[in-house]
Amino acid sequence: MHPSLRLCASAAPRQPLIHFAGKRQWKSKAPRPHPLATPDLKSAFTDSLRKTQASVSESSVVDKGSSSAGPAQSQAKGENAQVFGNFWEAPERYWKHDLEEWEVDLVATGGASRFA
């Protein structure tokens, strides 16, 4: 049996039909509100951005500090939030429990069942 010309022509490497323009890079500019946003939305955007940046910088300070400094800082701010590294360190009410059969059925039907 002789190979056909079509098979020989397809031996060339495949060229994808889609081409991306330029390299994939993240923007280095800080986020800003839309130019046509109302003034109250612009101020809300800047407030939320400021809070986000403060929480990110605060969490990095807590992560870099010693483990004993973390709870002291959170109590000084009046927060009761604790971070647990493992689930068994948290109170038992937050542990994962086995699901009942009716809960499995509810999830399997997407919530559209006779229980809803």
* Backbone region of residue 110 per phi and psi (left: phi > 0; alpha: psi in -120 to 50; beta: other values): left
Residue 46 contacts residue 33 (beta carbons within 8 Å):
yes
Q: What is the pLDDT of residue 70?
A: 47
pTM over 0.85: no
* Tokens of residue 29, six digits: 């500019």
For 73-92, write each residue's pLDDT tens digit.
445 554 667 787 787 788 88
